[in-house]
Structure 1
């Protein structure tokens, strides 16, 4: 009897794992389709056509924020651009949170095409300004971002004097000063901000003041987190409790980290 139960559980487990693998495959396929569409839109916005017929490939400088949730999307976009004949220079922040670039695709599926795309990235390193002897905080982040800004300017000064200077700056929105850097080096028209969080997070950030004015946040009173927000265009109704915690608490709304987040959206 026990043996039969064990076999039943084993079959159920195998069935579950099979469905999980299928679901994961569908998810990766959908993500690839989304990334392909997004990259095609990016290439339509930036006129690479004037450069593609030259002997030297058009050059894009990719500057991700040094955290994995920001780096992985930047790598994905860079890979698709590289697949379309674009030369990529990836800026890495040393002593930061940025992981070493692996020789595999962003989904962990090892392919020759992914290897080839990642291997043609040129890599430049700038200091992150992070002091790992101190706990990470909004104040530390602010110092780090300023250090990286100055280092990126020095890097661009060198790259713009090279044989194939960048014609496009693809930079993480979280830095905030991407437009100023692009303007200084004549790249404003072909600067692209890369927003790596969800569209919902972006939209919530825009409407935080509306939620504060309506008394929804900070959610300090009993039952406040169960209130339903249903008046933001483009978003389905949601509970306050479903929002990021740092948007609910009063101390979160006043933190340096959130103030920076608000400044870049």
Structure 2
């Protein structure tokens, strides 16, 4: 980032309220803080309390320092917390409740004579980019996943023009495609918005992707938690995407404890003694993220496949 000369740059960071989104942006925030940049990190009340609860039981709180401030706003699901585990429902609620709260926070900060140098928002929160633009604040959209996921979203109109999906995102054909030579193959019936089981959620998420695409056109930077060498084709297709990864668990800034900052739960280290019995690279790690959905048949097929590898494994 480049900021005009000033006493101390101040960055407002807004993650999507899920573990795989909060953690890398927290790591990026810590890195920026180490460069002398003041950070205000926004989180939902629910996730904020989980992080604070974890920090109270861990020495990780020492890594916040005076360069980072954690603030909280509601996500609108206080009366129906079970819906936080449903991606479509969570996104719908975030879109309804959070924009006004973030705008109020920025107004309050400006009223307190706080100069916000830049807003860094999760790429899926296009409304946050719009709010920053309203206040004429410089802005960066951050994608915590692979660049291929961003490219897929940016390629929607081409998918429609090529007759692969309807204008509402519904696949017209079940087909394996490549957005560009060298990029991973994708199945049209497994696009992120199609994979949701609820039709209404599919529609809402697809419309949200379209709106986000429009919103982030006004960003000063498009950042992605990836590495150029791993996704050369994707970055070649959209060179405006800047690789800044890897950021997250693998990024050790000072020691292992600091990498857990932003985690909703404490690390379970009970497996380390077991892992130490085996040579490096011999154990398979299996994980599906916060919102991983898998049917009974898929689960059984995966379990059988893992058994056939005859390799030791950790399944989380």
TM-score range, shorter chain: 0.5 to 0.7
1:62 and 2:8 are equivalent in the alignment: no
Shift of 1:253: 9.0
Equivalent residue, structure 2, for 1:38: none
> How many residues are aligned here?
202
- For residues 64-103 of structure 1, the aligned pairs below 5 Å read 64-95=15-46, 99-100=50-51
Alignment partners' CA distance in 2, 1:215 and 1:247: 16
Structure 2: give runs of 5+ residues left out of the alignment.
214-316
Shift of 1:100: 0.6
Alignment partners' CA distance in 1, 2:73 and 2:189: 37
CA spacing shift, 1:219–1:177, aligned 2, 3 Å: closer
1:47 and 2:18 are equivalent in the alignment: no
CA spacing shift, 1:88–1:255, aligned 2, 3 Å: same
Shift of 1:142: 2.4
**1:256 pairs with 204, 209, 212, which one?**
204
Bigger radius of gyration among the two? 1
Alignment partners' CA distance in 2, 1:183 and 1:71: 22
Shift of 1:199: 0.8
Alignment partners' CA distance in 2, 1:248 and 1:143: 19
1:152 and 2:108 are equivalent in the alignment: no
Q: Is the 8 A contact 1:64 1:74 kept in 2?
A: yes
Equivalent residue, structure 2, for 1:199: 147
CA spacing shift, 1:97–1:118, aligned 2, 3 Å: closer
Q: Is the 8 A contact 1:219 1:249 kept in 2?
A: no
Alignment partners' CA distance in 1, 2:26 and 2:12: 12
Q: Which moved more, 1:114-123 or 1:173-182?
A: 114-123
Q: Which moved more, 1:57-66 or 1:172-181?
A: 172-181
- For residues 174-193 of structure 1, the aligned pairs below 5 Å read 174-187=124-137, 190-193=138-141
Shift of 1:214: 3.5
Shift of 1:159: 0.9
Q: Is the 8 A contact 1:61 1:88 kept in 2?
A: yes
1:168 and 2:113 are equivalent in the alignment: no
1:123 and 2:70 are equivalent in the alignment: yes
Structure 1: give runs of 5+ residues left out of the alignment.
1-42, 104-109
CA spacing shift, 1:249–1:145, aligned 2, 3 Å: closer
- For residues 99-110 of structure 1, the aligned pairs below 5 Å read 99-100=50-51
Q: Which moved more, 1:82-91 or 1:154-163?
A: 154-163
CA spacing shift, 1:96–1:129, aligned 2, 3 Å: farther
- Aligned CA RMSD, in angstroms, stands at 3.5
TM-score by length of 1: 0.62
Higher relative contact order (CA 8 A, sep 6+): 2
Alignment partners' CA distance in 2, 1:98 and 1:229: 42
Alpha-carbon deviations, 1:31-53, whole Å to 9, x = none?
Answer: xxxxxxxxxxxx2xx315x12xx
